[in-house]
Chain A
Amino acid sequence: MPKNITRRELFSRTGAYGGSAIIALQFPRALDAAERSTDRLVLSATEWQTVEAITARIIPTDEDPGAMEAGCVNFIDKALANEDEALRAQYEAGVLGIDTVSQTRFKKSFVDLNVDEQDTVLASLESGVATGWPTGPVGSEQFFSTVRNHTVFGFLADPKYGGNRAYVGWRVLGYPGSRHRSGGYTVEQMRGEADIVTSWGGKLPR
């Protein structure tokens, strides 16, 4: 017969900020190791360069940092090593595909194109009209959409996943950071009558 949960057990697991999660959940996660490590786990050196160049066009660097500075490619590498292992094949096919399209159109690899040429190639992938995209199980729209969403996640998810390095994504948005476990906000802060200090150190405009 299954083990019963007692009240004592429930409360031993409870408590406002109660330490680590005691029950083991099912997630293998990139977690904190990813934040510290930029070692390549899954992507080859070439794939890393190409994917990084794509992310840099999805959230470009301007007067504010972009996907490059946030380390979105590192986020993707760690995700492919863990939660999104199933998407590995898409990246393999996609990097080959985007280079084939770049060669067909501009006689160069994607990373060697200028930014306008890169945008042209990406737009053709997104709309599914990329001349030279290899026939196969991975469509260009699908690959584009995967990298696009991954880049957004890498820019905006908690830094523990290996992106949003030094909170640059949150800084670009003006999101002060997670507050649940650091005391929340005061009524004065909610009303704009007191400063909100952000995760990256500065104050939020109010």
Chain B
Amino acid sequence: MAGRDECDVCVIGTGAGGGVMIKELSEAGFSVVALERGPLLTPSDFTDDELGVVVRREIFGDQLETSRIDDQSPTQIGRINGSVYCVGGTITHWSAWSWRFRPEEFRIRSVEGPIAGASLADWPISYDDMEPFYEKAEWEFGVSGDAEANRFGPPRKRAYPNPPHPIKKSSQSFVNGAEKLGYHPFHGPTAINSRAYRGRPQCSYGGTCAFFGCPIHAKATSLSVCIPKALASGNLDLRPNAMVHQITIGADGRARSVRYLDEAGAGHEVFARQVVVSGGAFGSPHLLLNSTSPSFPDGLANSSGLVGKNLTLHLFPLLQYLVDEPTLGMTGINLTVAVDDLHDSDSKRGFIRGGVFGEATTSTPISHAMNAYGFPNLKQMWGRGFKDYLRTFPRQVAMIGFLEDLPVETNRVDLDPDVKDGHGLPVPRITHKQHANDLAMMSWYTDRMREIGEAAGAVDSWVPDAPFTNLTEKKAMPGAAGHFHGTCRMGDNPKSSVVDRWCRSHDVKNLWVVDGSFFPTSGGYNPTLTILANAYRVANHFIAEAKRLNL
């Protein structure tokens, strides 16, 4: 074909942030090329085959990466990040809890003051800047919830578009325990249809949301909400199986083109007037650091030296308990009722910040088997005792928390100096050590969750501590990497941040980063609604600036 492969906007990654940009910009009339490293999947691919989907990651793809706790500790090959690689990205397998951050979560540095060993920063934007876009995201994604029920929620102008989901028996157990202790449990807002909404059906309560794709698109995702509308605009050129490895820079200092490999390994180059990076907080810095040039020898848009740094990984305290009757926790949505009473900082606790937690009972058999690690008095993960444990499945209730970990500058994603992928490119190396505040917070919340289990009539309770991630791979480090942020920090000062308040690179004016990388601090709620709302905010600004010929 004659002529260059070119477009107005090239979006790299199709997840929560990228999906919103793709949809908004293609509907606004820009020609958009969307490059996604994974395949295009459809609901018929989203089975509840736990071995294939969760353990073997057959449809959601894999990533070669290395990790270590700090610069002195040994580096392990293995994967810790929980990204999904398909059109729609990681939001495809989310549990869909959809929270607005509280106003003070945008200005932690001001609220808390300096903390030794942590790189706290205020966001350059406030809750008020985000509020209209939170509302937009909630309505686009059809969030179900009860705005009145959350007495701790931030101020809002409009209710949720859909009513809350019904309470299943395992949730009721958690509610009973929490209420006995004086807490105020309520339905966590969830972007799963509690009734048919905007062309997507009501949830069928099959029980496999977390770590699975939704087979009926009742769960709102980039794939079910954004991509179809973008394709309908006629302005989207969606290219799955396109592994981007470099963004090039022109003599004018602007991003010039995006280079990728197709499924067969053949190279392609798209010339774009604007480049939007949305590869996730691991993938985006990895791509920028791999995109070196004479003007950016340390990686594109990295004059601050902060690309890849300040990686935050939410803390996920877990608590399982057993009661003496069936709880039917395998039914319904996976993340249900929340307790948010303990969210704010309290100096009496000996640590700052906090988060939300709720009921999230394990709904599938292999995950249940993995939760045996840590079960009281079970010494051996085989034999009669293990089988007795397996038989406790119907009587289990589980909780999970989502807590704000503190940013630390040396926690980072960089390029592994030794390990290369099949194309000869350095793989991402994750260096992450939890701050003392994180450890104290985990322990304190675990104790509170245990008390709720006891108040609910637990006959046993424990913290599941399998030495594996993804069920079989040896854990490289404590903690998990299901929520990841911070590696392209947002701020007003180009010396102390990577992108500006509009998620536009300080260094390269036509380069934008719209996934969770921009978070200066991680917040004590699941991050996805904030990623979505921010992307709507950035898209709105992008379109306004285009009209002013200011891009």
Contacts and interface: CB of A to CB of B under 8 A. Distances in A.
Interface in B193-234: 201, 203-208, 212, 215-217, 227-228, 231-232
Contacts of B124: none
Nearest to A83: B56
Given A175-B330, A190-B328, A1 B1 contact: yes
A123 B394 CA distance: 29
Contacts of A22: 42, 44
A69 to B, nearest CB: 12
Contacts of A173: 365, 368, 390-391, 393-394
B166 A191 contact: yes
B286 to A, nearest CB: 22
Interface residues on B, range: 35 or more
A190 B332 contact: yes
Nearest to B471: A149
A91 interface: no
Nearest to A179: B206
A7 B231 contact: yes
A56 B208 CA distance: 30
B328 A206 contact: yes
B293 interface: no
Interface in A57-83: 57-60, 62, 64, 66, 83
Nearest to B49: A158
Contacts of B386: 58-59
B168 A16 contact: no
B456 to A, nearest CB: 15
Nearest to A59: B387
Nearest to A75: B51
Interface string A174-192: 1110111101111101111
Contact of B227 (A10, A161, A187): A10
Interface residues on A, range: 35 or more
B335 to A, nearest CB: 15
A181 B204 CA distance: 9
A114 interface: no
A179 B228 contact: no
A187 B50 CA distance: 24
Interface string B304-332: 00000000000000000000001010111
**Interface SS of chain A: helix, strand, loop or mixed?**
loop
B203 to A, nearest CB: 8
Contact of A175 (B40, B43, B365): B365
A83 B49 CA distance: 15
A21 B207 CA distance: 22
Nearest to A170: B365
Contact of A25 (B59, B365, B393, B471): B59
Interface string B363-402: 0111011000000000011111011001101100000000
Contacts of A158: 49-52
A101 to B, nearest CB: 17
A21 B45 contact: yes
B228 A172 contact: no
Interface string A135-162: 0000000000000110111001110110
Contacts of A60: 383-384, 387
Contacts of A26: 58
Given A152-B366, A153-B55, A156-B369, A190 B43 contact: no
B47 interface: yes
B58 to A, nearest CB: 5
Interface stretch (B236-244, B346-354, B420-428, B491-499): B236-244
B472 interface: yes
A78 to B, nearest CB: 12
16 contacts: A2-B262, A13-B42, A16-B43, A16-B215, A17-B43, A17-B216, A20-B44, A57-B383, A59-B387, A119-B383, A152-B369, A158-B52, A172-B390, A172-B391, A173-B391, A190-B331
Interface of B: 1, 5, 39-52, 55-56, 58-59, 166-169, 172, 201, 203-208, 212, 215-217, 227-228, 231-232, 237-240, 242, 262, 268, 326, 328, 330-332, 364-366, 368-369, 380-384, 386-387, 390-391, 393-394, 471-472
Nearest 8 A/B pairs, CB to CB: A184-B204, A7-B231, A157-B51, A190-B168, A174-B394, A156-B365, A184-B206, A179-B206
Given A2-B268, A14-B43, 4 more contacts: A6-B231, A23-B41, A157-B366, A185-B331
